[in-house]
Each structure stands twice: as C-alpha cells, then as structure tokens.
Structure 1
Amino acid sequence: METYMEAHLDTVRKLTLTVLDHTPEEFSDRIPEGYRNSIRWNFGHILYVQEKLAYEVAGQQGHLTDVYARLFAAGTSPADWNETPPTLAEIKEQMLLQSERIKQSHQSGLENLLPQAFTNKVGITFDTVGGCLLFSFFHEGLHLDTIRHYIRQLKRAEKNTDRP
C-alpha cells in the first residue's frame, strides 16, 4: 500500500479505535431518539463497509463472517436483529486485523480497475480499488462523527434524568 494511503488508513482507524475504547458499554445498544441505529451498529457498519470496499467490490473474498453483512450492511437496523451481535471487543479485534490485512493485501494495485464499477447507496461511482479505499476512510469519519454525537446525546439524556 502506498505510504500516504497507509498513513491515512492508520490515522482514521486510530481515531475510531480511540472512540471505541472510550465508549461506555451501557451506551452501545441504545438508540438515541429520532435515530434508527446504535453505537454498536455504527462501529460494525464501519468495519463491514471497509471490508466490502477493500475486497468484495474488487472481486476478492472478504474476511468477515456473514453475521457482519446481516447485521451491519446499509439499510439494516438493530430493531431487526434476530441474533446476538458481536461485542465491541470483537468488533475492535476485527478492526485491528482488518487494518493490517488491508495494508498487506493492497501494497500495490490501487489504480487497478474494479471488475465492474461500483455505485454506492448515494449514487457515487468508483472504478478503482484506490478510489474505494479513499471513500471508505471518508465513510468511516462520517460514522465516527455520528457515534460521537450519539455519545454526547446519550450522556446529556442520562444527566437530565439524574436531576431531582
């Protein structure tokens, strides 16, 4: 993986893991009012989408179990879960493994064309492996901001219910 891409992957993932490490476990499955997903869902979604964009759209086999697609793909919600989701610790472990795996498997070929262009849910089309990876870093940042917002909102709500 080219140096600047590797550094960017490390930076974004370090930020994500820092927030994950400081997320109160009791907040992980709460869904703030007006939203449809939880903090756990957002962390799992980051992991799942990164895997999809790094491997699956490039025609390669992903490395996560099918549970990640069932629980964390776009359009899913904890309200629909019929199975126990991975713990935050399990998601963290997979994130660490994923970062190293991506750096090893994408040491070159970032400019390679995808087997077929990939258009994401919001209509943006990618045609190279590198383009998909760059977008995945942006996507991770968006969901990291959502997680931070959820934590602030949940802490505020908890503080307000503690008042006499």
Structure 2
Amino acid sequence: MEQTIFQHMQIVRGITERSIQQIPEELADYIPTGFTNNIRWNFGHIAYIQEKLVFGVADEKMTLPKAYEGFFSAGTKPSSWIGNAPTLAEISDELTAQKQRIVDSLPGNLHKRLPEPFTNKAGITFHTLGETFLFSFYHEALHMETIKRIYRATKN
C-alpha cells in the first residue's frame, strides 16, 4: 500500500509541476474578481503547506526558504506581501526538490505518530505522518482547481 501512496504523490505533484511550467510569469499575479489570491500565491501555498504537513508537524527540519511562510502560509495574501515573492520558476524548483525530499525521507514512516496531534483550520485532527501526508494530496488538488479557475479568468 505504501508504494501506491507514493505513486499517487508522484502523479499529483507531476500535475502541479506540469501546470506551473505552463503559466506565463506575467499572469501569475492577477487576482480576478471573487478571488483573494493569485496563481503565484496558490503554487507557493501548495509548497509551503506540503512542507508543513510532511516535515513541520513531525518536528523535522523544514527546508523551504523561510520567506515562504510570510508569503504563502494560511491567511496570507499578496496584498500584504512585503518584498518580492519568489518567481514561478523558483517555486517550481522548490516543488520538485520537495518531492525528492519526501521520497527520500517518508518511506517507512507513514505510521509514525506526530509529536502532538495536529488540527488544521477545518478542524480535522491528525495523529500520524501518514494522515497529514494523505491530506496534503486533497489540499494540493483544491489549490490546483483554484489555479485553473484563476487562469481561465485571466483569459477572459
């Protein structure tokens, strides 16, 4: 079963990696009416939350640049950014490197209990690394759908 989970992660992240490569940098910061964030924020948020759900909640070292928290953590938004956010190419590189770190460190650890239960903003409580890792697929897919909707709105 573990092999299937990691294959699924490769599929989900592969979709994200292909998508970020197709978005022109000049469209990354547009926020259409009805949205709070832009495409850049959503891709960066995927990277930041994945890092938190896989490494942070397990008290492991988070290796994304520290600035990602200020730009992309839950509750942040581009209108509050101070400084220059990473480019799409930089975020893409981080997503790819993150995938490899997960492949290198997570196998055999999905049943590992978290140092303390983690409750997300939706009120869901997780007790194991596998639970947070599996939830991250759902989270990534939600934001990929938002990216698609923003991209469609930029074309109109």
TM category, shorter: over 0.9
Name the structure 2 match of 1:162.
none
Distance in structure 1 (CA, Å) of the matches to 2:94 and 2:24: 19
Q: TM-score, normalised by structure 2?
A: 0.97
Greater gyration radius? 1
Name the structure 2 match of 1:63.
63
1:97 aligns with 2:97: yes
Distance in structure 2 (CA, Å) of the matches to 1:34 and 1:107: 40
| Runs of 4+ more than 4 Å apart | none
Report deviation, 1:24. Answer: 2.1
Counterparts of residues 50-89 of structure 1 (less than 5 Å): 50-89=50-89
* Alignment RMSD (CA, Å): 1.1
Residue identity matched to 2:17: L
1:32 aligns with 2:32: yes
Q: Structure 1: where are the runs of 5+ without partners?
A: 157-164
Deviations 1:53-95 (A, max 9, x none): 0001011110112100000000000000011011000000010
Q: Is the 8 A contact 2:25 2:87 kept in 1?
A: no
Distance in structure 1 (CA, Å) of the matches to 2:17 and 2:100: 14
Deviations 1:74-123 (A, max 9, x none): 00000000110110000000100000100110111201110000000111
Residue identity matched to 1:14: G
Name the structure 2 match of 1:161.
none
The percentage of counterpart residues that share the same residue type is 46
Distance in structure 2 (CA, Å) of the matches to 1:92 and 1:26: 15
How many matched pairs? 156
Q: Structure 2: where are the runs of 5+ without partners?
A: none
